Chains A and B, each alone.
Chain A
């Protein structure tokens, strides 16, 4: 074959392979796009039509030199499907709305509790290539319009605020963070039970504030319960989601006062045993803490440290056990028992595995010195 033809074919192959490696894309000037920073998903009052609110950023320039700025615009679209609602927004926007910079997907409580639940939204989020896997998913408890009208001084855009908020508190023991990736995976796992971060407008503040508050529990994409802020820590310990946070225990020297332990890291290993129709779920929790605060005074002795350790272990056991038993009683498997059972015993088929599950929690709290990585308190 002619050398030139060979070269041409090689070049064409490189072209074709390169195109196959990429996803759909198109030339778009960055200033000719409106970027969505957050999406709020709701149903209408009849729970039939999908309502989409887009919080967006639009680059804008006035007639004067140096007048370039970004403007926050809220769009509302309605349609039988999520996609139709998005297209409905497009007919009232000057440029195409781009979702690649979307930082938060917020479902309203009404959408979460609706008969169809989140089912009407998930496919478009999964299928459309503009939705990345990074954004976080929330459920908002309250009035949607109030949420979109909230003026947060820290950040102009709710999407960015929530992103920073999750970065800040996401790893704490009293909160959970869920990305689209996790959400889409969990909803299809055995048990089809998952939790999403709750949002609320903070009432006690002088200015309007949005705060994360508990989490919403979903079964088959429908919200069935709310885990309160207090209960979340127990849930997080059981599900190995604690990376930082605090534990409060009584001061051994002053029983009316508290000692705060700062969680440095925590690791939960899960084991599951199935014998004669009974399931034994073993959670082995190892937590490393340091003394964060001592109310009044406490003499740091081996005995006192031992007491704190025992108290902390007891607390973790108590709160984790309580959350487990509550949900066991309600028959909502947020602890992935069914999934774990399927992983270890794929042939075992039980109607409601959670009801036949007994939880065994083994906790080991290790108190580290607060001033040195070497354990100087013992």
Chain B
């Protein structure tokens, strides 16, 4: 018995009730101890393919690890444990470690079998037409979904363990020969430099890869294998984190946030109309509140007279200044939105009714807001939902523009607008200009911008080796 290993594992994994030690005698004199964590392994698999072969063996002489690996164990993946630490790592990863009494070699068998969610329809990226499978929390399943879509020997999956204490597996996916090497190296180096104690989701990686001081994410995320596959085929780098049903891709461009999954599965013309609708929705969501407050508090001459009088009448009973009224309504909306997300689904419906009433008639009736303000905030809020991936950035920037518009009227709004444009134009996504094709003279082969062309024209590799600056 490798007493030293046994004692070490016992000590390290002490106080854990789910760590199991199973002793088996074989060939009358031999003894093996199987160490594994209950619920991380497939119990049936261990009984049939690891335990049974030892107990049933009465002809083969077991005196070394090679015999066990080649003739006894019926498990698929078997290997030698390098040292004591590796033994512990194997156990906590869901493998079985075998310690023998008759020789010092320690081996492990893969017998993973934990509870996991099956492949289902992704919740955040619904499509009318197109593939409906979504990633799961098990990265191996996600990888297999990508493999099924890209049957190419150059498709590579590198794994890096990140997180000093969590040892989370992060997988880098790319196609050798298509993905630019500098991009790949930069991503790999960034991940290797991550020194968090634990990694629970892709966002831990996104924060390192994306722009640091921005409300906009310069990293794309998706829950759909088809989207991930298409991005990888375009030459981007895909990343999976064990435990997260989202995959992330870099580099990412601002214009990409207006693309929906079914843009490529539906009629080209219809897709373009909806894409433009999303662009308009973004403009409305970000700029409308600021523009509205600037116009109705500073620049009456720019509003048609009939509308000025309507606005004046609708605000007649509101005791607060327009800015406060708008902030109030935006806060109401945020409250309703947050409540809607956090509440269980059955209560959610009741919540929406209350929300609709507050945002609608009650606020106006109570004299807290005017109909026109409710209309503007409601419109801006609906528009946010058309561009979910830009939600965080848009929500904060619309507040900034609102503040500028309320302080200085249209000149203030313009200042806010300049700041907004300069900010997103200054962002880089792993060395690539985020705002492409605006704000840069750099040209890529990327043609899927404002107008979705024929799929034969846009389904290509995007980058050259020296594109990143």
Task: Give A contacts to B, CB under 8 Å.
Answer: 11, 14-15, 18-19, 21-22, 25-31, 33, 35, 37, 57, 59-61, 65-70, 98, 100-101, 103, 130, 132, 160
Contacts and interface: CB of A to CB of B under 8 A. Distances in A.
Contact of A28 (B298, B311, B318, B365): B298
6 pairs of A and B residues whose beta carbons are closest in the complex: A61-B317, A18-B411, A61-B316, A59-B312, A31-B315, A100-B301
Given A14-B418, A18-B415, A101-B308, A29 B297 contact: yes
Interface in B283-317: 296-301, 305, 308-309, 311-317
Given A15-B415, A18-B414, A59-B313, A160 B300 contact: no
Interface stretch (B24-32, B82-90, B233-241, B402-410): B402-410
Given A18-B415, A27-B406, A101-B305, A70 B312 contact: yes
B429 interface: no
Contacts of B312: 30-31, 33, 35, 57, 59, 70
B309 A100 contact: no
30 contacts: A18-B412, A25-B298, A26-B298, A27-B406, A27-B409, A28-B298, A29-B315, A30-B311, A30-B312, A30-B322, A31-B311, A31-B315, A31-B316, A35-B308, A37-B305, A57-B312, A59-B312, A59-B313, A59-B316, A60-B313, A61-B317, A68-B313, A68-B314, A68-B317, A70-B309, A98-B300, A100-B301, A101-B300, A101-B308, A160-B305
B321 interface: yes
Residue of A69, A101, A130 most packed against chain B (CB within 10 A): A101
Contacts of A22: 409-411
Interface string B312-331: 11111110011000000000
Interface of B: 296-301, 305, 308-309, 311-318, 321-322, 365, 367, 406, 408-412, 414-415, 418-419
A29 B411 contact: no
B314 A27 contact: no
B406 A30 contact: no
- B299, B309, B409, most chain A CB atoms within 10 A: B309
Contacts of A27: 297-298, 321, 406, 409
Contact of B316 (A68, A100, A101): A68
A69 to B, nearest CB: 6
Contacts of A37: 305
Contacts of A130: 301
Given A29-B321, A30-B322, A103-B305, A21 B316 contact: no
B301 to A, nearest CB: 4
Contacts of A35: 300, 305, 308-309, 312
Nearest to A21: B411
Contacts of B410: 22
Contacts of B367: 65
Contacts, number: 89
B409 A57 contact: no
B300 A57 contact: no
Given A30-B322, A33-B300, A101-B308, A25 B313 contact: no
Nearest to A160: B305
Given A27-B409, A30-B311, A67-B317, 8 more contacts: A21-B411, A22-B410, A25-B299, A30-B297, A31-B316, A59-B315, A65-B365, A101-B301
Contacts of B301: 100-101, 130, 132
Contacts of A101: 300-301, 305, 308-309
Most chain A CB inside 10 Å of its own CB: which residue of B311, B313, B314, B408: B313
A25 B308 contact: no
B18 to A, nearest CB: 54
Contacts of B317: 61, 67-68
Nearest to B311: A30
B315 A30 contact: yes
B80 to A, nearest CB: 55
A28 B313 CA distance: 15
A65 B305 CA distance: 25
Nearest to A129: B301
Contacts of A28: 297-298, 300
Nearest to B410: A22
A32 to B, nearest CB: 9
Contacts of A33: 300, 312
Interface core residue of B317, B321, B409, B410 (most chain A CB under 10 Å)? B317
A57 B309 CA distance: 8
B324 to A, nearest CB: 10
A67 B365 CA distance: 10
Nearest to B414: A18
A30 B411 contact: no
Contacts of A25: 298-299, 409
Contacts of B321: 27, 29
A13 to B, nearest CB: 11
A33 B321 CA distance: 13
Interface centre among B312, B314, B367, B411 (most CB of A within 10 A): B312
Nearest to A34: B312
Contacts of B309: 35, 57, 59, 70, 101
A70 B312 CA distance: 8
Contact of A60 (B311, B314, B316, B322): B316
B101 to A, nearest CB: 68
B308 A30 contact: yes
Contacts of A11: 419
B300 A30 contact: yes
A173 B297 CA distance: 41
